[in-house]
Structure 1
Amino acid sequence: MAPPHNRRPGFSRRAQYGFFLAYVVALAGAIVSAVLLALSSLDPPAFASLRASLAEVTTPVSSGISGVGNWLGSIPSGIGDYIAVRGQNAALRKQLAEQHALFMRARSLSYDNRRLLALLQVRERIAEPVVAARLVSSTGSSTRRFAVLNAGSWQGVATGQPVRGPEGLIGRVLETGPNSARVLLLIDPESVVPVRRTRDGMPALAAGRGDGLIDVKSVALSTTDFGPGDVFVTSGTGGIYPPNIPVARVLRRGRDASIARSFAQADTLDYALVQRAFMPEPPPIPVPIPTPKPAKPKKKK
């Protein structure tokens, strides 16, 4: 039997109001989307200001929801860790015994390094931390990859400052508001970071692909081979990222370029550390103020 052509909800006023409200919500959403699309195309600065204002409003809500979700999600893993703690303890004790000799050698090398630096009177430059903030959200399905921090200009966060996590570099601050900041992640196509290979110091560039991975490209004059497992850290070139921060590990073999995965994954982190730029911009050169010339004394008649 063919379905009837009349799809009216009958005599139920509740169903009729529900259909009407659904149409109104859909029409309002289409209008708002069209206005935002036109604003982003015609007036990007105004759209950026509106986006920062919305981030200021939604950041506290996202922080609360993220905290509750992380707490609920940690319950099963906490139970599993409690059950497996005996085996993990034994494995860690065995690993500690195996690494003891390597630790003693590293300690001796560190002592020699400090002594030589003192003899040469070399001063190391260390990037100072600004604030530790929570990563409340990050884009996971778009080709553009950003994250939002619940700290902004009121906490000392400024545009261009590097952001790192426990595992390695996350990205850099792109936009700031009073209590929130937008972070450009390493995997974004607009992100380019100077790096070097740990085993031989070969310079390279780590550029985001937009799909969760990173392209590592050699900048050396000679042909370079990349092998699986090659580790790259920041080189300090460019004056933004401090040196020796882990960035990525190569996944497959390549020649002059290869695909790598970043150590720090923004969607799995709760907190991040914002640091000052490694080499901040120099202060403006003061303009000398001309000194007035003394007036010549008038000749007496």
Structure 2
Amino acid sequence: MVSTPGNRRPGHSRRAQYNTFYNYLLAVGGLGIGVVLLLVSLNDSGAFASTRAAANGVVAPVAVAGAEARHESTSWFATLAGYFTRGSRVAALEREVSEARVKLAEQAALKDENARLKALLALSESDDKPVAFARLIGSTSSSTRRFATLSAGSNQGVRVGMGVRSPLGLVGRVLEVGTSTSRVLLITDTESTIPVRRAVDGVQAYATGQGDGTLRIRLAATGINPLRKGDAIVTSGSGGLYRPNEAVAVVVSLIQDGAIARPLSDPGMTEYVAVERAFDEAAAGAAAMPEAPVAP
């Protein structure tokens, strides 16, 4: 019995030889077609545009599905990462917000300070230049006596009897002077009496401090009380200590012989003030003596 070889060569089978020949023929033909297409596309880039468009249309659904899958996977990983990093990111954001609030507060304070300084500069543009600009570095608020400390003294030209005012109105007058600080008697002190008048018609009166942050406006002439709520009270210039027409207070309530007024310039809320020469130097010398209330 003759045995058949287990691994016969193609040459022993005519069918195998034909299959091999046809495979080589298809390979050579495909290569030739590819070369022809390559040469055509190099000479004319738009020759197969429609074919490419049709091919892109066929594979577009698959590409869209792949893009959506990538997006979903990216979002999922981002969500997962955000879950683990949320605490640190929230803490960082809260810290940034706190720092931003501090900077906003600082900017608001600087804006307010610039406004006050500009208002003080407006005072210096008047004909009578202030002697000095200074800070109110302290004031009494709980005592019945109302004093304030000024960060300017004799070295800056401050003298006893000089008026002190802010951009809003009269604050008081200098009572005692040191080399670098001064003591100011506020207009709300019980020992302070200022000749004043109503701004609209010049009704004469006296403004006396009540020790509680308000002023009592007593009319110089008794009779019918002409004052009304909201009336502006200014200095009259009488007595020679304060210059005329300096804002003092606004009437808030009426009494039988006058009114109760609220000072326009609150020492507790005032930072910068201007020190002015007395309207009359003789009055400034008399101001160094204790001042008694003026009877209406």
Change (3 A) 1:220 1:77: farther
Which residue of 2 is the match for residue 213 of structure 1? 214
| Deviations, residues 141-165 of structure 1 (Å, cap 9, x unaligned) | 1111111011101111010100000
Change (3 A) 1:74 1:264: farther
The answer to whether the 8 Å contact 1:188/1:208 transfers is yes
Change (3 A) 1:80 1:210: closer
| Deviations, residues 101-135 of structure 1 (Å, cap 9, x unaligned) | xxxxxxxxxxxxxxxxxxxxxxxx96441100111
Give the AA of the match of 2:241: I
Which residue of 2 is the match for residue 181 of structure 1? 182
What secondary structure does 1:129 align onto? coil
Give the AA of the match of 1:186: I
The answer to whether the 8 Å contact 1:127/1:277 transfers is no
CA RMSD of aligned residues (A): 2.8
User: Moved runs in structure 1, 4+ residues, more than 3 A?
Assistant: 72-75, 77-82, 125-128
The answer to whether the 8 Å contact 1:227/1:254 transfers is no
The TM-score, its normalising length taken from structure 1, stands at: 0.52
What secondary structure does 1:281 align onto? helix
Unmatched runs of 5 consecutive residues or more in structure 1: 1-71, 83-124, 283-301
1:280 aligns with 2:287: no
The answer to whether the 8 Å contact 1:252/1:259 transfers is yes
The answer to whether the 8 Å contact 2:222/2:257 transfers is no
1:225-240 alignment runs, 5 A limit:
225-240=226-241
Deviation at 1:78, TM superposition (A): 4.1
Change (3 A) 1:192 1:80: closer
Aligned length: 170
Deviation at 1:76, TM superposition (A): 2.9
Which residue of 1 is the match for residue 289 of structure 2? none
Larger radius of gyration: 2
Change (3 A) 1:153 1:201: same
The answer to whether the 8 Å contact 2:145/2:190 transfers is yes
Change (3 A) 1:240 1:255: same
| Deviations, residues 75-101 of structure 1 (Å, cap 9, x unaligned) | 53845999xxxxxxxxxxxxxxxxxxx
Give, in whole Å, the separation in 2 of the partners of 1:189 and 1:74. 42
Give, in whole Å, the separation in 1 of the partners of 2:230 and 2:191. 25
Which residue of 2 is the match for residue 167 of structure 1? 168
Which residue of 1 is the match for residue 78 of structure 2? none
1:134 aligns with 2:163: no
Q: Which has the higher helix share?
A: 2
Q: What's the % identity of the aligned pairs?
A: 45
Unmatched runs of 5 consecutive residues or more in structure 2: 1-100, 112-125, 284-296
Change (3 A) 1:79 1:242: closer
Which residue of 2 is the match for residue 104 of structure 1? none
Deviation at 1:73, TM superposition (A): 9.6
Which residue of 1 is the match for residue 105 of structure 2? 76
